[in-house]
Chains A and B, each alone.
Chain A
Amino acid sequence: MIGTLREILQQSLHRLAATATAYVPPLLAALVIFAAAWLIATVVRAVFLRLTKTAWLDRFVVESGLSSLFGRSRPLETAPLVAGVIYWMILLVGLLTGLNAFNTALTTKMVEAVVFLLPKLVAAGLILLAGVWLAQYLARSTLIWAVNENLSHPRQLAMAVRVMVVFVSVVVAADHLNFARTVFLAAFLLVVGGLVLAGSIALGLSAHDALKRRFAEPVHASDGQEKPLWNHL
């Protein structure tokens, strides 16, 4: 009995020792790699911030309207942003290298998945960013146009445009990632179809007379109430 117990205990200790021998060195190696990556990332970020001139990028971000996404009155400084991206990229590489040190099926699969997905994630992120930028731009354009044209509910119109464009970019990004493709596409088609139908009905019911009048008028004959606004240019 005691012999059996001793044997079990010894086997258990052996297994533990084997596991420790198998995993502790890779774990230590992973920690060292990750620490080194963190150190490199921190140094690179500091050096980048100190040495790199990103005035051209700042100008591009401002002139492309990307900075207005952040709703800031001061121009967006891109150097900290780029430095942050570099920092996190190095950390990610360190993490993946560290995981790879374990050399198990699970970690290999994880690393492969990340490496395979990363470009797609970046592309999807860029699609979303572009979509949000476009949504912001078009929503503002709509808002200002609606205000200047004296239309009712300008904010709601702008919001509708924003939601529409963001929704489209989400559909495209999801499609790119192969994520819930059919759900998003079906939703997209339903929304667009619904909007077209609603628009057609609204136009048919409400704007029929207005359109008839508009197209019946000669170009210079719109002498209504609006005219005074253009007379004092």
Chain B
Amino acid sequence: MLTEEARRAVGQLKKADIVIGIPSYNNARTIGHVVRAAQAGLAKYFPQLSSVIINSDGGSRDGTQEAVLKASIENPHLLLLNTPLLPVHRLSLPYHGIPGKGSAFRMIFAMARELGAKACAVVDADLRSITPEWVDLLVRPVLHAGYDFVAPYYHRHKYDGTITNSIVYPLTRALYGLRVRQPIGGDFGISRRLLMRYLERNDWETDVARYGIDIWMTTIAIAEGYQVCQSFLGAKLHDAKDPAADLTAMLQQVVGSVFTLMREYEHVWRKVEGSRPVDLFGFRFDVGLDPIPVNLERMTKALLTGYRELREIWSLALDRSNLEALAAVCRQAEQNPSGWRLADDLWARIVMDFACAHRRMPVERTHLLRSLTPLYLGRVASFVMETETMISSEVEDRIEQLCLAFEAAKTYLAARWDSTGKAVEAPTQPAPVEVKA
């Protein structure tokens, strides 16, 4: 699990109370700031504890590792420290294995275990809004309040984090009954106990090695009854995702991980009814956010093209009534491209149909998950149209409604999960939708 280089580093350091992990891949532009913030946070809030910042790099070619090792606090006197300051070590090491965020986390966790860390926090390398307080907010609940898992809670632009808002948050909340608002936020605090649990699992070589890691960590923490809380971190401003990255692959890895864990934790989610709030640390305040441009026309077109071309695959996953309702939505979208809606309850049932199909596999799982992309884009388009004039608190209320729709659809999920035979018998074709090229 640990490379020779990592083992050597552990041997030299011997011990660290706190480990801050930063997975990276070509983040030279932002990682210096993240390292400095983490360093300042450790020095300011945990000066008497030994700590190390580990950058686990996926083979960056833009000087990310050099940026990590060069980064230092320009003027430490500004921190007004009044206690003896232990040095914060910085390591930048490449990880081995499947390239991805999960593999990077695995190395960080393994090093934290070897160093005997009491708490570990991981933060994304592309953050522009991280401050030293983030370290305190992610680590203190673990060290001083007995929590095992600290999830982030951010202010984000209403169109930022749409996989979270439209699928992962409502579904995770409905399944496991905890309102963890940013289950795939990417910045977490973890106790040693939970970290050991993560490391003993044997599914690291799956989608967990990639973008599935965040939801995997959150779900295990919730489903296995670890103490979970949230910390308000302010705004999440980060570099735009690499346009070369594949949206479909990300969606597949994240949603695939949720669905896979649904099978493992069936005994947990079946017993859960409704949801309850989670303890929230930190002082909440409003912040200005970068606007997120969206391309409504293209997203609507993606849905219509998907309906036209992938209907046969969808029909293997979706219940007949949902497929017919979807056909009606597509007809509406075709007739009135700026005034159609994909209703919450229909969307919840579609996601749950896909979860059931992921279990019984009427179609290969990769195909199933990849065919979800146009539906997801359609849902995002519908959400964008609906919330165009809303302020962030209204949008949050709107997301709350969606979550309630998911919670209400849970009985549907349970029934369909059991009786897999109730699926559409054959690729029945509802009234075709004429879609302009």
Residues of A within 8 A of B (CB): 62-63, 65, 67-68, 71-75, 137, 140-141, 143-148, 150, 152, 154-155, 219-220, 222-223, 225-233
With A143-B310, A150-B305: A72-B243 Cβ-Cβ less than 8 Å = no
Which A residues lie within 8 Å of B248 (CB)? 144-145, 148
Which B residues lie within 8 Å of A72 (CB)? 362, 425-426
| Contact residues of A: prevailing secondary structure | helix
Which A residues lie within 8 Å of B293 (CB)? 227-228, 231
In angstroms, Cα B161 to Cα A72, docked, is 35
With A75-B420, A137-B364, A141-B367: A230-B161 Cβ-Cβ less than 8 Å = no
Mask: chain B, 227-265; 1 = CB below 8 Å from A; 0 = not: 000000000000011111101101000000000000000
The one of B240, B367, B374 in contact with A231, judged by C-beta atoms closer than 8 angstroms, is: B240
Q: A227 and B364: CB pair below 8 A?
A: no
With A144-B370, A233-B247: A63-B242 Cβ-Cβ less than 8 Å = no
Q: Which of B38-46, B85-93, B172-180, B294-302 contacts A (4 or more CB under 8 A)?
A: B294-302
Whether, in the assembled complex, B427 has its beta carbon less than 8 Å from a beta carbon of chain A, the answer is yes
Q: B362 and A75: CB pair below 8 A?
A: yes
Q: A73 and B424: CB pair below 8 A?
A: yes
Chain A nearest CB from B238 CB (Å) reads 10
The one of A63, A222, A229, A233 in contact with B299, judged by C-beta atoms closer than 8 angstroms, is: A229
Q: A154 and B159: CB pair below 8 A?
A: no
In the complex, number of A-B residue pairs with CB atoms less than 8 Å apart = 125
Whether, in the assembled complex, B145 has its beta carbon less than 8 Å from a beta carbon of chain A, the answer is no
Considering the complex, give the chain A residue whose CB is closest to the CB of B315.
Answer: A73
Q: B247 and A230: CB pair below 8 A?
A: yes
Chain B nearest CB from A132 CB (Å) reads 14
With A74-B362, A144-B313, A232-B294: A219-B425 Cβ-Cβ less than 8 Å = no
Q: 27 interchain pairs (CB within 8 A)?
A: A62-B361, A73-B316, A73-B362, A73-B426, A75-B420, A141-B366, A144-B248, A144-B313, A144-B367, A144-B371, A145-B370, A147-B302, A147-B305, A147-B310, A147-B373, A148-B370, A219-B244, A225-B295, A226-B298, A227-B240, A228-B292, A228-B295, A229-B298, A230-B242, A230-B245, A232-B160, A233-B250
Q: A65 and B426: CB pair below 8 A?
A: no
Q: B361 and A67: CB pair below 8 A?
A: yes
Considering the complex, give the chain A residue whose CB is closest to the CB of B373.
Answer: A148
Chain B nearest CB from A189 CB (Å) reads 32
The one of B294, B310, B361 in contact with A228, judged by C-beta atoms closer than 8 angstroms, is: B294
Other than the given A137-B364, A219-B244, A230-B242, 7 more pairs (CB < 8 A) read: A73-B315, A144-B310, A146-B309, A147-B305, A225-B295, A232-B292, A233-B163
With A229-B295, A230-B247, A233-B162: A71-B310 Cβ-Cβ less than 8 Å = no
Chain A nearest CB from B395 CB (Å) reads 13
The one of A62, A68, A137, A222 in contact with B244, judged by C-beta atoms closer than 8 angstroms, is: A222
Considering the complex, give the chain B residue whose CB is closest to the CB of A61.
Answer: B361
Which B residues lie within 8 Å of A141 (CB)? 366-367
Which B residues lie within 8 Å of A140 (CB)? 313, 363-364, 367
Which B residues lie within 8 Å of A145 (CB)? 248, 370
Considering the complex, give the chain A residue whose CB is closest to the CB of B296.
Answer: A228
Which A residues lie within 8 Å of B315 (CB)? 73
Whether, in the assembled complex, B423 has its beta carbon less than 8 Å from a beta carbon of chain A, the answer is yes
Which B residues lie within 8 Å of A231 (CB)? 159-160, 240-241, 292-294
Which B residues lie within 8 Å of A143 (CB)? 309-310
Whether, in the assembled complex, B377 has its beta carbon less than 8 Å from a beta carbon of chain A, the answer is yes
With A67-B361, A68-B363, A73-B316: A226-B241 Cβ-Cβ less than 8 Å = no
In angstroms, Cα B301 to Cα A230, docked, is 16
In angstroms, Cα B161 to Cα A73, docked, is 33
Chain B nearest CB from A130 CB (Å) reads 15
Chain A nearest CB from B247 CB (Å) reads 6
In angstroms, Cα B365 to Cα A68, docked, is 11
In angstroms, Cα B299 to Cα A181, docked, is 50
Whether, in the assembled complex, B189 has its beta carbon less than 8 Å from a beta carbon of chain A, the answer is no
In angstroms, Cα B301 to Cα A225, docked, is 14
- Among A72, A147, A223, A225: residue with most chain B CB under 10 A: A147
With A71-B316, A137-B364, A232-B161: A220-B299 Cβ-Cβ less than 8 Å = no
In angstroms, Cα B159 to Cα A65, docked, is 36
Chain A nearest CB from B435 CB (Å) reads 12
Chain A nearest CB from B265 CB (Å) reads 20
Which A residues lie within 8 Å of B301 (CB)? 150
Q: B380 and A232: CB pair below 8 A?
A: yes
In angstroms, Cα B374 to Cα A148, docked, is 7
Which A residues lie within 8 Å of B421 (CB)? 74
Whether, in the assembled complex, B415 has its beta carbon less than 8 Å from a beta carbon of chain A, the answer is no
In angstroms, Cα B364 to Cα A226, docked, is 28
In angstroms, Cα B301 to Cα A72, docked, is 29
With A67-B362, A144-B371: A230-B240 Cβ-Cβ less than 8 Å = yes
Considering the complex, give the chain A residue whose CB is closest to the CB of B364.
Answer: A65
Chain A nearest CB from B163 CB (Å) reads 6
